[in-house]
Structure 1
Amino acid sequence: MLKTMRNIGIMAHIDAGKTTTTERILYYTGKSHRIGEVDDGEAIMDWMEQEQERGITIQSAATTTYWKRLGIKGENIDAAKLPQYQINIIDTPGHVDFTAEVERSLRVLDGAIAIFDAVHGVEPQTETVWRQAEHYKVPCIGYVNKMDRVGADFFPVLDDIRAKLAANPVAVQIPLGKENNFEGVIDLIEMKEIRWDSATDGEEMDITPISGEREALAKEWRERLIDALSSVSDAVTEKYLAGEELPSELIRSELRKAVISRAVLPIFAGASRRNMGVQPLIDAVVDYLPAPDETVPAVGHHLKKDEDITIPCDPNAIPLGLVFKIQNDREAGSLCYARMYSGSIKPGTMVFNVGKKKRERANRILRMHSNKSEPMDSLQAGDIGVIIGLKLAQTGDTIGSEGWPVLLEKMQFPEPVISVSMEPKNLSEQEKLKEILALLSKEDPTFTAREDDETGQLIISGMGELHLDVLVTRIIKEYSVGARVGNPQVTYRESISTAVERTETFSKVVAGKENAASLTLRIEPRERGQGNNFAWAVKNSAIPDEIKDAVERGVNGAFQSGIALGYPCIDIGVTVVNAVYSELTGTEFAFEACASLGFDEACRNAAPILLEPIMAVDLVAPKEFVGDVISLVTQRGGQVLSMDSKPGGDEVKAQAPMAKMFGFMTSLRSVSQGRATFTMEFSHFEKKAER
């Protein structure tokens, strides 16, 4: 079962053809009976109304399909004797504002297809998702799409991948022609030409020997493939040096090992919109991407032993899984997308939330197909499914067994950088709006909602203008809440610049009982991007764990409430160096309040600073407009980092403060006659400059 399972994601820059390719995979594997087009708003995987209207993917969508690998040798193969592979697919968004959807998908996948635009090569968001895949050590195969477009060129894309992603791209196919003359591919392993029949929507493939005029080019690129493999495979090197013919099976098996170890990125070519190149790509998923038990085992932290342990992918072991996504369903409640790493869970059984130390019942387990579902008998190690009934679960929670307290590594999401105020049109909808915002915050870890202490306004924050626009539209249309939305505001952060130690004493009589606490806190600045940290350094075993937890709650709450201006704090280390506790008067309430007050006072004396979000800006403009584009960036306080000349225009990488980037698109269109494009994502926080 595990050997024939693949958990894959499809990742790329916006508009590279992720959803279009996924739709073809579903069609050719028999999961759907028609090809859904993104441009027509009929893509199966883009099921949300806004996705269909905007023509972009907003939420990652999961589906499962099945495939028998027929290959392309052309001989008669008895399909009934072939193994059937189960492929769990997650189609992810390409826009940087929805990077959390990509992050949490890659966290639970065993392999991925990286799609590259044949015209533009490696684009900004491609670099972002590649870094995410590297972080989680996800093996990848590459697919150069849109070979039929004007300006398409396969070979410069390989150079771009090598230069920008520091990867080792190896062509397994080369294209037959390009742009309007693109007619198919040459398979360099079988040394055959493949063409697709447009009359059958690409279902029928015409496989022929390589023609004489193309033989020299095909042999040259096959040599490059063998050479790349020989550098990572002793078996290939031995046969190659002995002058022996390399069988296709050996090339594929050694290429598989190289892909799983991330030593090689095999590259395929096609034009998904014209139904060309997809079936060999599905074969490549089966041939080169790992089964769940072939990947590096997951690592968990054993809470009782206080040590990290590896978790083999074994369906018969103790259950352990990760909730990687929450989606709200009006009828079923919370849909908890989970990946099982060990053991199995059956419907109706109790599930233990390790982090929250709570038990809940898994009422139903479903296999998803976009927004449709079918029941599953059990969710086993290596598989991905949806559990219904877990009301307390949140993204990143570990679920398993009470007797095996192991926590899987949580996912890290970027900080929200843009905020808008939101208020209901009438008071009767105030509570309904708050409930909806709480639901959306649970679904999306990069979306937050809070109430401003001074104005009483609801402030919602997200990753960018599009992100907030999509969420506001959902609130108004999907949930039918009338609301007014303010202008976008930058979400600042606060931190400190010096270390301070402070002793705080708290005493208050509540209902005739004295509540007293005394704490000494040492606070110090941490390096930018390291995040906040809480440490307990008091060597007094008489202090109960409940008191320690209360102190930590007080400090964590103070992190969120800010120092001078009420913005959340970042990159501050807090160490409790002394605590005075009495069994008679020491209460959780007293220590939580004491910790919060002590933190506030210490930070005010630690030279507090205001930090603003700095954005990484990538622009592509025709050569004649580059000067004006650079001038526009510098006028907004930006700093140009690099320039690169590409076939589609010059690429400019810059950094600029978020506060100056509102309305940038309108200005950019104005100076470039609408021909320049840009993408922007959060880079880091730095001290706000005086302007």
Structure 2
Amino acid sequence: MASVKTDKIRNLCLISHGGAGKTTITEMSLYNSGVIKEPGRVEDGTTHSDYMPEEKKHQFSVVNSFFSIPWNGNQINWVDTPGYADFRGEVSSALKIVDAAVLIINGNSGIEVNTNYVWTMAEDNNVARFVFINKMDKDGAKFDKVFEEIQNNLNGHFVPLTIPYGEGENYKGIIDLLKKEALLYGDDGESKSDIPDGLADRVEELWTELLESVVELDDELMMKYFDDEEITDKEMIKGLINGVRAGDIIPVMVGSAINNSGIKTLLNYLSSLVPAPTDIGTVTGTWEGEEIKIEAGESGPFVGQIGKTMVDPYIGKLSIFRVLSGKLNTGSEIFVPRLNNTIKASKLYKLNGEEQETVDELKAGDIGAIAKIDDLETSDTLSDPDFKVELDPIIFPEPMLTKTALPASEGDDEKMSTVLHRISQEDPTFKVEYNKVTKELLVTGMGTVHLDVIKDICKRKFGVEFVTGIPKVAYKETIQSRVEVEEKYKKQSGGRGQYGHVFLRIEPLPRGKGFEFDEEIFGGAIPSQYIPAVEKGVVEAMEEGVMAGYPVVDCKVTVYDGSYHSVDSSEMAFKIAASKAFKKGMEQAKPVLLEPIMDVEVIVPEEYMGDIMGDLNSRRGKIQGMSSRDGLQVIKAHVPQAEMFTYATDLKSLTGGHGKFTMKFAYYDKVPKKIEDEIIKERNTETA
């Protein structure tokens, strides 16, 4: 595609609940614009948007797809985002690099679980918003019902630009309210027609509402309206543009993507109404504590931001970014604030699905990619070395489903770990961590489908297979009473022997204080050079407690007396004596198991409050408080981590996907005696 000026670029993404038809709309838009010769089908795995084997297997999108669509002299940089809730991180990255979002709604199911969530994401990113009601040809499709749901459930002033000509099996096409013409679909494409008599009054009523929505935003047009002067289509479009860019008007359009009905009209309006990069004005960044304004245009210094990284075993890392200001040429030096270093742009690309077109230049408004720079990460700011600035990072949803990862083949531990860390660089909503206490590799994702897709990707891309399981809890042990113990380590086997003799005082510390060591040796009972060995012996003994082999915390140990032998004493002897003394004292000091308690916040519609609170109580949770936020109920609770490993899937089941939660570590607390006995029994069985 020939390069166009920045004011002719339109950047947008499609967002929706899964199954609303984004990929089919993308396919028909590519077809209508001449980018592809024939549209593919999701069911056949032939679409240009869902090109990954995992997407063809599951029949839904799992990553963003990027396209450039020429339309009416403009270049529409088009991002097709996944609709499945497990892949909301892709929506986050897309919204950061576009200027508009088109919400796709299924005409026969209306507002669904993920619809509100992605709409709120678009609001938070302050992009221009549109709605397209798809599948108006399906049984049960009702425009009025869906439009009422939109008005009642989503924020904004919604104004229809097109309405359906018939619904369900009677669907014949669309009616363009601005032009007051019908567009009927058939085997030879869409054809224009007069408004049918049965719809004439409805069209006139909606056109008047559209006119009033536009003129009330413009004093000049308002005066013309009150003076009964004609307002032209050109003036209406100009008023719509201003209203959309200010967020005062959200256009609603309809169609049937599978029949290629309403798609050309959608493209016409998007091409006209989506703000150009030059309309955005300034972008704000910072450098060394100072706020910096960046003018969105070709003439300024180069500034860009990476919205997504993709790791390929053959071409390496591909970093997809939006140019916010200036131009970037192949071979140019780029400053990366996070690295505080410069890199060279060796190869630049534009993307069309899985195809990559090499280009020499990317300018303000362009969405392109830079290859084979392993140090770059998602959210990184890129700038001219002489114009240093850093932009706000992309805020991604926090993954909450944690599993253990084990290689399917013995001996593949290191290879599996390496591959999973590479995947986590590509996907910020997938995290990998090694738990030193439980000696497990933990993977955390957005849900079971997310983790299943990552398994498929690891197998296909890198030849690594792994299985997941329920993680172990990082229990700890502590004491409840103060004790004093003596231990003497004495060994004589001919020649030089071993001798170490210590008196230890062991006492509990407040929860969360960790470990303290002190010495109160007088008169040289233990020479000072052996005191570090005593501490080391205690620390090593604390690594495995006496109840179930878990680390010991929250205690203070003081060595206050002992004795030594001028010949046989050694650091090793005192370390062993101290270790034995600590274990003996631990057994006498009323040891208990501690478990991690999590700070949990659950956000749900009010109708699920009772079920959620009952479920949290069944998990040994303690409710800390309740409040309202944006029309939803917020429940805060402290819940043992052992009860939360399946909560991501359980919450989805309890609320039909309408609930969400966050969780972070709060503190350690005593395990109830009955559960403590079960843990110790299970641990002893494992050890045996």
Q: 1:275 aligns with which of 252, 260, 265?
A: 260
The whole-number CA distance in structure 1 between the counterparts of 2:460 and 2:12 is 33
Q: CA deviation at 1:22?
A: 0.7
Q: Residue 536 of structure 1 aligns with which residue?
A: none
Paired letter, 2:57:
E
Q: Residue 325 of structure 1 aligns with which residue?
A: 308
Q: Secondary structure at the match of 2:661?
A: strand
For residues 366-408 of structure 1, the C-alpha deviation after alignment (integer angstroms, 9 at most, x for no partner) is: 0111111111111111111001132211011111122222101
The whole-number CA distance in structure 1 between the counterparts of 2:25 and 2:602 is 31
The whole-number CA distance in structure 1 between the counterparts of 2:551 and 2:343 is 40
Q: Residue 451 of structure 1 aligns with which residue?
A: 434
Paired letter, 2:99:
D
Paired letter, 1:117:
N
For residues 565-622 of structure 1, the C-alpha deviation after alignment (integer angstroms, 9 at most, x for no partner) is: 99xxxxxxxxxxxxxxxxxxxxxxxxxxxxxxxxxxxxxxxx9983254555679xxx
- Show the 5 A alignment for 1:265-664: 265-303=250-288, 306-426=289-409, 428-487=411-470, 610-616=597-603, 636-637=615-616, 659=645, 661=647, 664=650
For residues 330-372 of structure 1, the C-alpha deviation after alignment (integer angstroms, 9 at most, x for no partner) is: 2221101011111111112221112211121211000111111
The whole-number CA distance in structure 1 between the counterparts of 2:55 and 2:312 is 17
The whole-number CA distance in structure 2 between the counterparts of 1:476 and 1:215 is 58
Q: Residue 237 of structure 1 aligns with which residue?
A: 222
Q: CA deviation at 1:95?
A: 1.5
Identity of aligned residues (%): 27
Q: CA deviation at 1:416?
A: 2.1
Q: CA deviation at 1:677?
A: 5.2
Paired letter, 1:343:
G
Kindly tell me the number of residue pairs found equivalent between the two proteins: 542
The whole-number CA distance in structure 2 between the counterparts of 1:490 and 1:100 is 27
Instruction: Confirm whether residue 118 of structure 1 aligns to residue 118 of structure 2.
Output: no
Answer whether contact 1:416 1:462 (CA < 8 A) is retained.
Answer: yes
Instruction: Confirm whether residue 135 of structure 1 aligns to residue 143 of structure 2.
Output: no
Q: Residue 684 of structure 2 aligns with which residue?
A: none
The whole-number CA distance in structure 1 between the counterparts of 2:395 and 2:58 is 28
Instruction: Confirm whether residue 167 of structure 1 aligns to residue 167 of structure 2.
Output: no
Which of 224-233 and 21-30 deviates more? 224-233
Answer whether contact 2:305 2:379 (CA < 8 A) is retained.
Answer: yes
Q: Residue 584 of structure 1 aligns with which residue?
A: none
Paired letter, 2:279:
E
The whole-number CA distance in structure 2 between the counterparts of 1:390 and 1:26 is 30
Q: Secondary structure at the match of 1:317?
A: coil
For residues 62-86 of structure 1, the C-alpha deviation after alignment (integer angstroms, 9 at most, x for no partner) is: 1112112xxxxxxxxxxxxxxx211
Q: CA deviation at 1:415?
A: 2.2
Change in Cα spacing, 1:314 to 1:665, as seen in structure 2 (3 Å) is closer
For residues 470-522 of structure 1, the C-alpha deviation after alignment (integer angstroms, 9 at most, x for no partner) is: 11222234322133321378999xxxxx99999x99xxxxxxxxxxxxxxxxx
Q: Residue 213 of structure 2 aligns with which residue?
A: 228
RMSD between superposed Cα atoms in Å? 3.5
Q: Secondary structure at the match of 2:412?
A: helix
Paired letter, 2:389:
V
Q: Secondary structure at the match of 2:298?
A: coil
Instruction: Confirm whether residue 209 of structure 1 aligns to residue 194 of structure 2.
Output: yes
Q: Secondary structure at the match of 1:98?
A: helix
Q: 1:53 aligns with which of 46, 52, 57?
A: 57
Gapped regions of structure 1 (runs ≥ 5): 69-83, 493-497, 506-563, 567-606, 620-625, 643-651, 669-675
Paired letter, 1:114:
L
Which of 331-340 and 677-686 deviates more? 677-686
Change in Cα spacing, 1:654 to 1:410, as seen in structure 2 (3 Å) is closer
Q: Residue 673 of structure 1 aligns with which residue?
A: none
Paired letter, 2:96:
R
Q: CA deviation at 1:166?
A: 1.8
For residues 196-249 of structure 1, the C-alpha deviation after alignment (integer angstroms, 9 at most, x for no partner) is: 12x13xxx3211221222211110111111121122122331221111222111
Paired letter, 2:433:
R
The whole-number CA distance in structure 2 between the counterparts of 1:416 and 1:458 is 16
For residues 104-130 of structure 1, the C-alpha deviation after alignment (integer angstroms, 9 at most, x for no partner) is: 110110112111122232223121111
Answer whether contact 2:470 2:645 (CA < 8 A) is retained.
Answer: no
The whole-number CA distance in structure 2 between the counterparts of 1:100 and 1:123 is 18
Q: CA deviation at 1:655?
A: 7.2
Q: CA deviation at 1:284?
A: 1.0
Q: Secondary structure at the match of 2:377?
A: coil
Paired letter, 2:9:
M
Change in Cα spacing, 1:114 to 1:375, as seen in structure 2 (3 Å) is same
For residues 254-273 of structure 1, the C-alpha deviation after alignment (integer angstroms, 9 at most, x for no partner) is: 10110011110011011112
Paired letter, 2:103:
A
- Show the 5 A alignment for 1:658-673: 659=645, 661=647, 664=650
Tell me the TM-score normalised to structure 1 length: 0.72
The whole-number CA distance in structure 2 between the counterparts of 1:132 and 1:17 is 19
Gapped regions of structure 2 (runs ≥ 5): 476-509, 518-549, 553-593, 618-622, 673-688
Q: Residue 38 of structure 1 aligns with which residue?
A: 42
The whole-number CA distance in structure 2 between the counterparts of 1:156 and 1:332 is 49
The whole-number CA distance in structure 2 between the counterparts of 1:411 and 1:235 is 40
For residues 417-460 of structure 1, the C-alpha deviation after alignment (integer angstroms, 9 at most, x for no partner) is: 11111122445422221221121110011111111202332111
Change in Cα spacing, 1:631 to 1:156, as seen in structure 2 (3 Å) is same
Q: Residue 148 of structure 1 aligns with which residue?
A: 137
The whole-number CA distance in structure 2 between the counterparts of 1:270 and 1:445 is 35
Answer whether contact 2:438 2:472 (CA < 8 A) is retained.
Answer: no
Paired letter, 1:109:
V
Answer whether contact 1:366 1:374 (CA < 8 A) is retained.
Answer: yes
Paired letter, 1:346:
N
Rg larger for: 2
Q: CA deviation at 1:189?
A: 0.7
Answer whether contact 1:184 1:195 (CA < 8 A) is retained.
Answer: yes
Which of 24-33 and 481-490 deviates more? 481-490
Q: CA deviation at 1:9?
A: 0.4
Change in Cα spacing, 1:362 to 1:417, as seen in structure 2 (3 Å) is same
Q: Residue 231 of structure 2 aligns with which residue?
A: 246
Change in Cα spacing, 1:182 to 1:428, as seen in structure 2 (3 Å) is same
Answer whether contact 2:312 2:461 (CA < 8 A) is retained.
Answer: no
The whole-number CA distance in structure 2 between the counterparts of 1:120 and 1:565 is 53
Q: CA deviation at 1:159?
A: 2.3
The whole-number CA distance in structure 1 between the counterparts of 2:160 and 2:653 is 41
Q: Residue 172 of structure 2 aligns with which residue?
A: 183
Paired letter, 1:636:
D
Answer whether contact 1:194 1:205 (CA < 8 A) is retained.
Answer: yes
Q: 1:194 aligns with which of 166, 178, 183?
A: 183
Tell me the TM-score normalised to structure 2 length: 0.72
Paired letter, 2:598:
L
The whole-number CA distance in structure 2 between the counterparts of 1:565 and 1:16 is 51
The whole-number CA distance in structure 1 between the counterparts of 2:615 and 2:634 is 11
Paired letter, 2:177:
L
Change in Cα spacing, 1:662 to 1:139, as seen in structure 2 (3 Å) is closer
The whole-number CA distance in structure 2 between the counterparts of 1:6 and 1:617 is 36
Paired letter, 1:33:
K
Q: CA deviation at 1:91?
A: 0.5
- Show the 5 A alignment for 1:96-115: 96-115=85-104
Change in Cα spacing, 1:231 to 1:4, as seen in structure 2 (3 Å) is same
The whole-number CA distance in structure 1 between the counterparts of 2:551 and 2:220 is 64
Which of 407-416 and 654-663 deviates more? 654-663
Change in Cα spacing, 1:174 to 1:236, as seen in structure 2 (3 Å) is farther
Answer whether contact 2:652 2:658 (CA < 8 A) is retained.
Answer: no
